[in-house]
Structure 1
Amino acid sequence: MFDTMTLTKIVGGFCGALLVYLLGNWAGEILYHTGPAGHGDGEHTAGYVIETAGSEGPAEVVEEISFGEVFAAADAGKGERVFNKCKACHKVEDGANGTGPHLFGVVNRPVGTAAGYGYSGALSEVAEVWTPETLNEFLENPKGYAPGTSMGFSGLGKIEDRANVIAYLDSIGG
């Protein structure tokens, strides 16, 4: 049934596989040595140290910046660039609703009054008018500010970005 050549090929295949395995193991030991054998006294230190909350240095105090100060220095041009994140759902043309309501003249407009848009109702429960301050709070975390809102955007984390977007929205239809 088996001739000598077939048996030789099978044994050679097993020997070749064993050789590849041993060479890989040897290369791995050289690259990622985990034990003390062959490396001096055996204590190895990590290549980097991860700082933990229990560090000895004094805690850095984050100074709270008021939104009014940031909004006073806001740049509508930068806000237009940040508004690109909003363009998927909102339009700035008057009356042109998209997935979300149009934002033409939204600053100081009563909440939930964009003509032709069906609101979820969650916004009118938390605010009456879209002042710059209420827009700031809403844009920071829409779902946290108005639970139940249909807005799926996670929010703008930087206060400067929020102030710039609100300045841009105030400049178009204010």
Structure 2
Amino acid sequence: MFNTMTLTKTAGAVLSAFLFFLLTAWASSALYHVGEAEDHSGGEHEEMAKGPTMSAAPGDLLAQTDDAGAAASTDAAVVVDLGNGDAAKGAKVFGKCKACHSLEDKNGVGPHLDGVVDRAVASVDGFNYSDALKEHGGQWTIEALNSWLENPKDYIPGNRMSFAGLKSAEDRNDVIAYLQENSQ
């Protein structure tokens, strides 16, 4: 027969399962950010999909304005002064890099990064670079480091670095300031 205890147990099981899935979804969204896909078709929202833009001109902390000319609106992207970030904050962000890189002139999974600013790409002795990095050439300028840190796979396709990149322009700028401080 059907009684109220069966109904209570069934309702409890359904609500417990719902609560379990709700908490699992909340916990996974805290760990992983799933944003909107970028539109590379050149649409009007492409600028905003890329996030903050960067400027290499020293002393140029500016806010871009929209068509109406309203500075520092909530939709305006902040232009970050490359190379003038906060090295102390960069040291904390560099914690993500420590699993593979060191600043003590010894290679790990990745090459050491002391002296990386203005160093030639793929030039650390004793490190086995991917063919893509060897063929790329150039130097690790501030602008090159910014592009690399944003998305290593897009900046030099075919490299072996598995890091997805730093999406925050401020985090990239702070890490670059930290690397500059350790490149002298």
**TM-score, normalization by structure 2:** 0.61
Contact 1:90 1:101 in 2 (8 A): yes
Between Structure 1 and Structure 2, whose CA radius of gyration is higher? 1
Among 76, 90, 99, which residue is 1:88 paired with? 99
User: Contact 1:127 / 1:134 at 8 angstroms: preserved in 2?
Assistant: no
Contact 1:79 1:161 in 2 (8 A): yes
Q: What's the Cα RMSD here?
A: 2.6
Deviations 1:114-159 (A, max 9, x none): 1110100212444510000001001101111111111000000001
For residue 103 of structure 1, what is the aligned residue in structure 2? Answer: 113
Q: 1:125 to 1:85 in 2, by over 3 A?
A: same
Alignment counterpart, residue 139 of structure 1, candidates 146, 149, 160: 149
Q: Distance in 2 between matches of 1:121 and 1:100?
A: 15
- Structure 1 26/86 Cα, relative in aligned 2: closer, same or farther at 3 Å? closer
Partner amino acid, structure 1, of 2:81: V
Percent sequence identity over aligned pairs: 45
Could you say what secondary structure the match of 2:82 adopts?
helix
Secondary structure of 2:81's partner? helix
Which structure dedicates a bigger proportion of its chain to strand? 2
Distance 1:64 1:76 in 2: 19
- Provide Cα deviations, 1:65-124, integer angstroms capped at 9, x if missing partner: 433242254111110110000000000012x00000000100000000011101002124
2:54 to 66, 72, 86: 66
Q: Which contiguous aligned blocks of 4+ residues in structure 1 show a shift greater than 3 angstroms?
A: 20-28, 61-65, 124-127
Give 1:26 deviation, angstroms: 7.5
Q: Among residues 129, 132, 135, which one is paired with 1:119 in the alignment?
A: 129
Q: Which residue of 2 aligns with 1:154?
A: 164
- 3-state SS, counterpart of residue 102 of structure 2: coil
What's the CA shift for 1:24? Answer: 5.2
State the alpha-carbon separation in 1 of the partners of residues 139 and 83 from structure 2.
20
Q: Number of residue pairs matched?
A: 127
Residue 90 of structure 2 corresponds to residue 79 of structure 1: yes
Q: 1:25 to 1:139 in 2, by over 3 A?
A: same
Q: Any gaps of 5 or more consecutive residues in structure 1?
A: 1-14, 29-58
Q: Write the distance in 1 (CA, Å) between the matches of 2:107 and 2:12.
A: 62
Change (3 A) 1:118 1:70: same
TM-score (norm 1): 0.64
